[in-house]
């Protein structure tokens, strides 16, 4: 989520750009729809046009303001680098406390640094539901070099199911075609299971 400092900074930026109050409808709606700084920075004019009160002119103003913010060194954050399954588990450890299964994707750059984290699906994993289109859409949009996918087992047992293996195989096949490699699939429980370490990737 956007931390308080970043949220305030970007609220001021957007309010100034749109000439409205920081708690105005459009600014508030932007932060409701785009819940991370990266999502906000990657927003397109087409996405903005779906928000009530934003026309073509305002959409262009917002994109231009965010483009300037993107290249402002003060907004560059230290990124978490994932060098091993243990690193991935450390980054995803908060998933141990979820009461429902969530399937997430981590987009990585060429240095294996996390560019973004996004929940793709909530519910029991099923190869027909966790569609590659939704997984790779965000990765392509942000020009990621590779990715790590993960989901949690609320039972605490991280052992992979048949569905877990099917989803992994399908995503890896698509990744090879698209050119965005799936480096690992981490299952989070009381501990973790790396499907790469288990030889499934």
Task: Give the pLDDT mean for 156-174.
Answer: 93
- Helix/strand/coil for 103: strand
Q: Give the model's pLDDT for residue 5.
A: 43
18 or 195, greater pLDDT? 195
Task: Give the pLDDT mean for 7-31.
Answer: 81
Q: Give the model's pLDDT for residue 70.
A: 65
* Structure-derived torsion over alpha carbons of residues 191, 193, 198, 201, reported in degrees to the nearest 10: -160
For residue 140, the tally of other CB atoms under 10 A from its CB is 12
Q: How far apart are alpha carbons 199 and 152 in whole angstroms?
A: 19
Separation in Å, CA 67 to CA 46, 63, 198: 15, 6, 42
Closest CA to 181 of 142, 152, 149: 149
Give percent of the chain with pLDDT exceeding 70: 89
- Helix/strand/coil for 148: strand
Closest CA to 163 of 200, 124, 132: 124
Read off φ and ψ for residue 191, nearest 5 degrees. Answer: -130, -145
**Residue 176 C-alpha from the chain's centroid:** 20
Q: pLDDT tens digit string along 48-88?
A: 998 888 999 988 988 888 877 765 544 445 678 999 999 99
13 or 177, greater pLDDT? 177
| Maximum C-alpha span of the chain | 55
Q: Give the model's pLDDT for residue 71.
A: 58
Q: pLDDT tens digit string along 22-59?
A: 778 888 888 888 877 777 877 888 889 988 889 999 88
| pTM (2 d.p.) | 0.64
Q: How far apart are alpha carbons 119 and 15 in whole angstroms?
A: 28
């Amino acid at each position: 989520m956007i931390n308080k400092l970043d949220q305030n900074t970007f609220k001021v930026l957007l309010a100034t750009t749109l000439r409205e109050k920081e708690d105005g409808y459009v600014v508030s709606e932007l932060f409701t729809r785009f819940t991370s700084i990266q999502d906000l920075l990657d927003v397109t004019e087409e996405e903005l046009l779906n928000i009530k009160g934003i026309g073509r002119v305002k959409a262009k103003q917002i994109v231009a303001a965010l483009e300037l913010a993107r290249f402002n060194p003060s907004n560059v954050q230290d990124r978490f680098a994932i060098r091993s399954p243990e690193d991935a588990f450390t980054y995803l450890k908060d998933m141990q406390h979820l009461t429902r299964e969530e399937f997430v994707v981590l987009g990585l750059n060429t240095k294996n640094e996390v560019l973004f984290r996004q929940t793709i699906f909530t519910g029991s994993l099923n190869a027909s539901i966790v569609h590659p289109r939704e997984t790779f859409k965000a990765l392509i949009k942000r020009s990621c070099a590779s990715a790590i996918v993960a989901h949690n087992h609320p039972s605490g047992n991280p052992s992979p199911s048949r569905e877990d293996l099917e989803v992994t195989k399908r995503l890896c096949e698509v990744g090879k075609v698209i050119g965005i490699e799936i480096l690992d699939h981490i299952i989070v429980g009381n501990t973790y299971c790396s499907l790469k370490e288990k030889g499934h990737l």
